[in-house]
Amino acid sequence: MIDLRSDTVTRPCEAMRQAIAQAQVGDDVYGDDPTVNELEKWAAERHGFAAAIFCSSGTQANLLALMAHCERGDEYLCGQQAHNYKFEGGGAAVLGSIQPQPIENEPDGTLSFDKLRAAIKPLDPHFAQTKLLSLENTIGGKVLPLAYLAQAKDFCVTHQLQLHLDGARVYNAAVALNVDVIEISQYFDSMSVCLSKGLGAPIGSLLLGSTELIAKARRWRKVLGGGMRQAGMLAAAAKISLTKNVGRLIEDHQNAKYLAEQLNKISGIEVNLSEVETNIVYAALDENLNIKGITQQLKENGVLITAGNPMRLVTHLDIIKSDIDIFIQNFGNLIKVS
């Protein structure tokens, strides 16, 4: 199958499967798993933080960050389009008693500091207390500029807020900017990184932060049922994702650009090429197109996409350029007859 639905669909490579089979393990809730311990120590140093915690998912890592930064009755500022507001089941409110304060994202994915400033609550019993600004990079496949991150840091210092990055795809951002990931992570008090997307691990995310913050997160992870036992089997694959699969993300970005250019040659499809910055392509479809029917027929031809308008397509390590040619040929033909 050629699967363009998401970069979460990658399958672990042979080296990961070998590492999983051979991993040294112990009970991680007791702190006894050497492979998890090594990963957390390595990842903290690698990203410029004092501590790290290995989590079952990006949703869990983000929720732990919110629950560690905020207390009951606090609030966090975020984008309307933020994953940890819109796509995580309202977890911060449901499980953390933390109020989200979403702000409309600007077209480039940033949040306006004027709008953020206006949303900060004064110290007054009427209001939830504003504690944290949460950004996302990449967001909708777009990269936040480094200069913006520096401004966000200044903004948070001025207003005594903590700053979190949902860095599920932060390595895509680093590769697109051609900088080391540390150039991005340096501005944040905490950062989550998803290992099970374009980096190709089967399971897992990291949360990075200060020793104190990660200790709080570790307690909440247990409370949320996220304390895993012989998790070294997962950490072994995770380490490979961070050491072997970062450099090649550039191929996913090139493939996404190529995909966008090819889509633009089909009538009734339009992609704004300047918005294809990493591995995600949004294509606007002619309203008369029966995208549900086309999606079903593509599936019968071995190609998986998500029906939608705009149509969101994602490249990843299990997609090569010739897969895109196959998709384009099939898609073009189906549009002609529909």
Beta 303-304 vs 2-3: how paired, if at all?
parallel
Q: Does 279 bind ligand PLP (CB under 6 A)?
A: no
Cα gap 195→104, rounded to integer Å: 28
Q: Does 83 bind ligand PLP (CB under 6 A)?
A: yes
What DSSP letter does each residue of 63-120 carry, written as one string?
A: HHHHHHH--TTEEEEEETT-HHHHSSTTHHHHHH--EEEEEPPPTTS---HHHHHHHP
Q: Does 10 bind ligand PLP (CB under 6 A)?
A: no
Nearer of residues 58 and 232 to ligand PLP, judged by Cβ: 58
Quickly tell me which residue has 């019968």 as its tokens: 300
Nearer of residues 168 and 317 to ligand PLP, judged by Cβ: 168
Q: Does 277 bind ligand PLP (CB under 6 A)?
A: no
Cα gap 171→185, rounded to integer Å: 10
Q: Does 74 bind ligand PLP (CB under 6 A)?
A: no
* E strand segments, the chain: 2-3, 51-55, 74-79, 99-103, 129-136, 162-167, 190-194, 205-209, 269-270, 280-285, 303-304, 311-314
Nearer of residues 6 and 129 to ligand PLP, judged by Cβ: 6
Which residues fall within 8 angstroms of residue 67, CB to CB, at 6 or more apart? 92, 95, 96, 98, 216, 217, 220
CB of 206 to ligand PLP, least distance (A): 11
Nearer of residues 194 and 291 to ligand PLP, judged by Cβ: 194
Amino acid code (one letter) for 205: S
Nearer of residues 35 and 59 to ligand PLP, judged by Cβ: 59
Nearer of residues 266 and 304 to ligand PLP, judged by Cβ: 304
Q: Does 105 bind ligand PLP (CB under 6 A)?
A: no
CA 12 to chain centre: 18
Nearer of residues 53 and 328 to ligand PLP, judged by Cβ: 53
User: How far is CA 281 from each of CA 104, 127, 294, rounded to the nearest angstrom?
Assistant: 21, 40, 18
Cα gap 313→3, rounded to integer Å: 9
Site for ligand PLP in 145-184 (CB under 6 A): 166, 168
Q: Does 278 bind ligand PLP (CB under 6 A)?
A: no
Measured from each CB, the residue nearest to ligand PLP is 58
Site for ligand PLP in 44-73 (CB under 6 A): 57-59, 62
Q: Does 144 bind ligand PLP (CB under 6 A)?
A: no
Candidates 301, 310, 309, 307; CA nearest to 328 is: 301
CB of 168 to ligand PLP, least distance (A): 3
* Residues 171 and 316 sit within 8 Å (Cβ to Cβ): no
Q: Does 280 bind ligand PLP (CB under 6 A)?
A: no
Site for ligand PLP in 174-233 (CB under 6 A): 194, 196, 205
In terms of DSSP H, where are the helices of 161-210? 170-177, 182-185
Number of residues that bind ligand PLP (CB under 6 A): 11
Site for ligand PLP in 245-264 (CB under 6 A): none
Nearer of residues 10 and 59 to ligand PLP, judged by Cβ: 59
Nearer of residues 194 and 238 to ligand PLP, judged by Cβ: 194
CB of 133 to ligand PLP, least distance (A): 16
Q: Which two tokens stand for residue 101?
A: 């304060």
* Residues 86 and 143 sit within 8 Å (Cβ to Cβ): no
* Residues 333 and 267 sit within 8 Å (Cβ to Cβ): no
CB of 36 to ligand PLP, least distance (A): 17
CB of 114 to ligand PLP, least distance (A): 24
Contact set with ligand PLP (CB under 6 A): 57-59, 62, 83, 136, 166, 168, 194, 196, 205
